[in-house]
Amino acid sequence: DADVTQTPRNRITKTGKRIMLECSQTKGHDRMYWYRQDPGLGLRLIYYSFDVKDINKGEISDGYSVSRQAQAKFSLSLESAIPNQTALYFCATSDTGDGNIQYFGAGTRLSVL
């Protein structure tokens, strides 16, 4: 089983709908991150959490919210989806040691029509 699991892997939704993307990890890491990937823009940080009680905005948090339900779970929500939120979304985890290497899930491809 993958260390960082994202569900669903693919999702198509309509403008205005609320949608949740889920991430769970078995690596025992305290730190978790949500990114979106767009062609030509690389990965951009949406939100990150350094422990269960810690939530921080990244560079592009508008239109998104997150919930850290447990050390192993970090969910990303789009409260009212819009077409420009169509993208590939990645969850990642890291530990405080080892240079803070981040480990990524396989991604969720989201299309907002």
Task: Give contact residues for other proteins (rule: CB under 8 A).
Answer: 4, 31, 33, 35, 40-45, 48, 50, 58, 90, 92, 94, 96, 99-107
List 88's β-bridge partners, or say none: 37, 109
Q: Is 61 helix (H, G, I), strand (E, B) or coil?
A: coil
**Least distance CB 55 / other proteins (angstroms):** 14
**Least distance CB 9 / other proteins (angstroms):** 9
Q: Which is nearer to other proteins, 18 or 57 (CB)?
A: 57
Per the CB < 8 A criterion, the answer to whether 108 and 6 are in contact is: yes
Q: Which is nearer to other proteins, 16 or 28 (CB)?
A: 28
Q: CA end-to-end span of the chain, whole Å?
A: 32
Tokens of 55: 């939530």
**Least distance CB 101 / other proteins (angstroms):** 6
Q: Which is nearer to other proteins, 14 or 43 (CB)?
A: 43
**Least distance CB 16 / other proteins (angstroms):** 29
Q: Which is nearer to other proteins, 81 or 105 (CB)?
A: 105
CB proximity list for 91: less than 8 A, separation 6 or greater:
4, 6, 21, 23, 25, 32, 33, 34, 35, 74, 76, 104, 105
